[in-house]
Amino acid sequence: MKQLFKDNKAFIIPYISVLLIVSAVLLYFDKAEIHIFINSFHNNFFDIFFKYWTYLGDGIFSAVFVVLLLFISYRKALISAVSLILTGLVIQILKHYVYFGNYRPVMYFKTEYEGNYKLHLIEGTEPANFFSFPSGHTAAAFVIFFLSAIFVKNRYLKFIFFISAFLVGYSRVYLSWHFVGDTVAGSLTGFIIVLITVSFISKNIKSDSSLLKK
């Protein structure tokens, strides 16, 4: 585990830094205040950019990621598949059985917010109303991009992968599918499950054969 942290400082240090800062903000400000602040900063470029970038955390992209890894390494594909499946299970249990009463931003601002703020929404990305906590897209994105960082050696790529995962989380707030706290919990879920899965499978499976290397 120590070596894993050492080899991936370019991803982990920025993530932990942002996690601590955002957690402090969440402790100090109300989630509606934070959401309004973020929602008020928008333009046409980011409307389009985040509308499509957010798909990097969906199920189709996750499946494509695992399939592509089969051509590189069965072990890496297995680590990715197990991490994504476990993350999905944990997220769905939390959403539907633990925090099932959590409204997403649109419903929250309609029913519980004591004010008159109108959310900026983007056509074609109309948010759902329920099961807000935690963010499944953010969790999947952190699994995919943290694993990508682990699988490469270049520290600049590792940092780019962190930025990519962060932007998926931000897109979920920008599009008003989630509050910031939802994305923090999602990212942490994916991050922790990757650490556990990589440590366990790497310790027990050493073979690095693939569809291209037999």
Using the structure block, give the residue that is written with the tokens 């990715």.
80
Residue type, 135: S
Percent of the chain with pLDDT over 90: 80
Residue 214 — pLDDT band, cuts 50, 70, 90?
low
- Residue 210 is assigned to a structural domain of this protein: no
- Residue 193 is assigned to a structural domain of this protein: yes
Q: Given a cut of 80, is residue 203 above it in pLDDT?
A: no
User: For residue 105, is the peptide bond before it cis, meaning its omega torsion is within 30 degrees of 0?
Assistant: no
Domain residues for the domain of 90 are 2-204
Q: What is the pLDDT of residues 141-151, one digit of tens each?
A: 999 999 999 99
What average pLDDT does the segment 51-66 reach? 96
Rg (CA), the chain: 18
- Residue 32 is assigned to a structural domain of this protein: yes
- Residue 209 is assigned to a structural domain of this protein: no
Residue 68 — pLDDT band, cuts 50, 70, 90?
very high
pLDDT value at position 202? Answer: 76
- Residue 213 is assigned to a structural domain of this protein: no
pLDDT value at position 150? Answer: 95
What average pLDDT does the segment 94-105 reach? 92
pLDDT value at position 88? Answer: 97
- Residue 152 is assigned to a structural domain of this protein: yes
What average pLDDT does the segment 174-203 reach? 94
Q: Any idea of the CA torsion for 7, 71, 54, 111, to the nearest 10 degrees?
A: -90
- Residue 211 is assigned to a structural domain of this protein: no
Buried b (16+ CB within 10 A) or exposed e, 68-81: ebbeebbbbbbbbb
Residue 112 — pLDDT band, cuts 50, 70, 90?
confident
Number of domains in the chain: 1
- Residue 185 is assigned to a structural domain of this protein: yes
